[in-house]
Chain A
Amino acid sequence: MSTLPPSFDDWFSRRGWSLHPHQQELLDRAAEPALLLIAPTGGGKTLAGFLPTLAELADGAHKGIHTLYVSPLKALAADIKRNLRTPVDEMGLPIRIEDRTGDTSATARKRQRADPPHILLTTPESLALLTSYEDAPRIFAGLSRVIVDEIHALAESKRGDQLMLALSRLQALAPEMRRVGLSATVEDPAAIAAYLARNPDPCAIVHADPGPDPDIAMLTTDERPPWSGGGGKYAIPAVLEQVRKHRTTLIFHNTRAQAEIFFHNLWLANDDDLPIGIHHGSLAREQRERVEAAMVAGDLRAIVATGSLDLGIDWGDVDLVIQVGAPKNVKRLVQRIGRANHRYNAPSKALLVPANRFEVVECVAALQAVKARDLDGDPRGPGPRDVLCQHIAIRACAGPFDAGELYAEVTSAGAYAGLTREAFDDCLNFVATGGYALRAYDRYQRLQQRPDGLWQLRDPRRARQIRMNIGTIIDTDMLKVRLRGRGGKPLGEVEEGFAATLTAGDTFLIGGRVVRYETLREMVVEVSPRADKEPRIATYMGTKFATSTQLSHRILEMFRSRDWAGLPAHTRDWLELQARVSHLPEADRILVESFTHDGRPHSCIYGFAGRNAMQTLGLLLTQRMEEMGLHPLGFVATDYATLIWGLEPLTDPAPLFAQGDLRAAFEDWLAGNAVMKRTFKSSAIIAGLIERNTPGARATGRQATFSSDILYDTLRRYDPDHLLLDITREEALRGLVDFGRIEELLARTHGRIDHVQAERVTPLAAPMLLEMGRVPVMGAARERLLAEEAAILLATAGLE
Chain B
Amino acid sequence: MNFFAFQLAGAALRALPSGGLWWPGADLLCVSDLHLGKAERMARRGGPMLPPYEVRDTLGRLEQDLAATGAGTVICLGDSFDDLDAAHALPPAERAWLERLVAPRRWIWAEGNHDPDPVPFGGSHAAEVLRAPLVFRHIARPPGGDGAGTPDSGGALAEVSGHYHPKARVNLRSQRITRPCFLLDRKRLILPAYGTYTGGLFSHAAPLSALMDDPAVAILCGPAPCAVPMPR
Name A's B-contacting residues (CB within 8 A): 433-434, 436, 438, 440-441, 443-446, 459, 461-462, 465, 500-501, 633-634, 688-691, 694, 701-707, 710-711, 714-715, 717-719, 722, 774, 776, 782-783, 785-787, 789-790, 793-794, 796-800
Contact = CB atoms under 8 A, between A and B. Distances in A.
Contacts of B48: 688-691
B106 interface: no
A796 B228 CA distance: 10
B229 A444 contact: no
A433 B220 CA distance: 37
B46 A711 contact: no
A271 B46 CA distance: 60
11 contacts: A434-B49, A434-B51, A438-B53, A440-B40, A690-B48, A701-B201, A718-B53, A789-B172, A789-B173, A799-B227, A800-B227
A269 B12 CA distance: 64
B217 interface: yes
Contact of B175 (A688, A703, A718, A776): A776
Nearest to A434: B49
A450 B169 CA distance: 51
Nearest to A699: B199
Contacts of A446: 49
Contacts of B202: 702
Given A703-B200, A783-B222, A436 B51 contact: yes
Contact of A459 (B46, B223, B226): B46
A717 B215 contact: no
A786 B197 contact: no
B43 A706 contact: no
Contact of A461 (B39, B44, B46, B56): B46
B52 A703 contact: no
Contacts of B224: 783, 786-787
B47 interface: yes
Interface string B168-184: 01101111110000000
Given A785-B173, A790-B227, A797-B229, A711 B51 contact: yes
B57 interface: yes
B52 A434 contact: yes
B200 to A, nearest CB: 6
Given A707-B199, A790-B228, A719 B53 contact: yes
Given A783-B224, A799-B215, A714 B57 contact: yes
A786 B39 CA distance: 33
A583 B157 CA distance: 70
Q: Which 9 pairs, one residue from A and one from B, show the smallest C-beta to C-beta distance?
A: A434-B49, A776-B175, A440-B52, A706-B199, A718-B53, A703-B165, A703-B201, A797-B229, A444-B43
B209 interface: no
Contacts of A711: 50-51
Chain B contact patch, size range: 35 or more
Contacts of B196: 710, 714
Nearest to B201: A703
A787 B228 CA distance: 9
A436 to B, nearest CB: 6
B22 interface: no
B51 A441 contact: no
Contact of B197 (A701, A702, A706): A706
B229 A785 contact: no
Nearest to A790: B226
Instruction: Please indicate which of the listed interface residues B175, B176, B198 has the most CB atoms of chain A within 10 Å of its own CB.
Output: B175
B201 A702 contact: yes
B91 interface: yes
Nearest to A791: B226
Given A446-B49, A689-B48, 11 more contacts: A434-B51, A436-B51, A436-B52, A438-B52, A440-B39, A688-B48, A703-B198, A774-B174, A783-B224, A789-B228, A797-B215
B197 A500 contact: no
**Chain B CB within 10 A, most for which of A691, A705, A710, A794:** A710
B115 interface: no
Interface string B42-80: 011011111111101100000000000000000000000
A694 B201 CA distance: 21
Contacts of A443: 44
Contact of B170 (A717, A774, A776, A789): A789
Nearest to A800: B227
A717 B53 contact: yes
A790 B170 contact: yes
A438 B224 CA distance: 34
Given A444-B44, A714-B53, A500 B226 contact: no
Contacts of B172: 776, 782, 785-786, 789
Contacts of B57: 714, 717-718
Query: Which of B46, B169, B202, B220 counts the most A-chain CB atoms under 10 A from its CB?
Result: B46
Contacts of A438: 52-53
Interface in B197-232: 197-202, 205, 215, 217, 220, 222-224, 226-229
B46 A462 contact: yes
A690 B202 CA distance: 22
Nearest to B55: A440
B164 interface: yes
B190 to A, nearest CB: 12
B201 to A, nearest CB: 4
Contact of B56 (A705, A718, A722): A718
Nearest to B199: A706
Interface in B31-47: 39-40, 43-44, 46-47
Nearest to A633: B174
A433 B199 contact: no
A465 B46 contact: yes
Nearest to B224: A783
Contacts of A500: 169
Among B49, B57, B169, B173, which residue has the most Cβ atoms of chain A within 10 A? Answer: B49
A793 to B, nearest CB: 5
A114 B115 CA distance: 49
Given A794-B217, A794-B228, A799-B229, A634 B175 contact: yes
Contact of B51 (A465, A718, A800): A718
Contacts of B47: 691, 694
Contacts of A707: 199
Contacts of B46: 444, 459, 461-462, 465
B197 A689 contact: no
B170 A786 contact: yes
Nearest to A775: B175
Contacts of A722: 51
B210 to A, nearest CB: 15
Contacts of B220: 786, 790
B81 to A, nearest CB: 16
B86 to A, nearest CB: 12
Contact of A776 (B44, B51, B174): B174
A790 to B, nearest CB: 4
Nearest to A716: B51
A779 to B, nearest CB: 10
B227 A703 contact: no
Residue picked from B52, B173, B222, most chain A C-beta under 10 Å: B52
Contacts of B52: 434, 436, 438, 440-441
B229 A786 contact: no
A363 B8 CA distance: 64
Contacts of B201: 701-703
B43, B56, B170, B193: which has the most chain A beta carbons within 10 Å?
B43
A444 to B, nearest CB: 4
A560 to B, nearest CB: 36
Contacts of B174: 633-634, 774, 776
Contacts of A462: 46
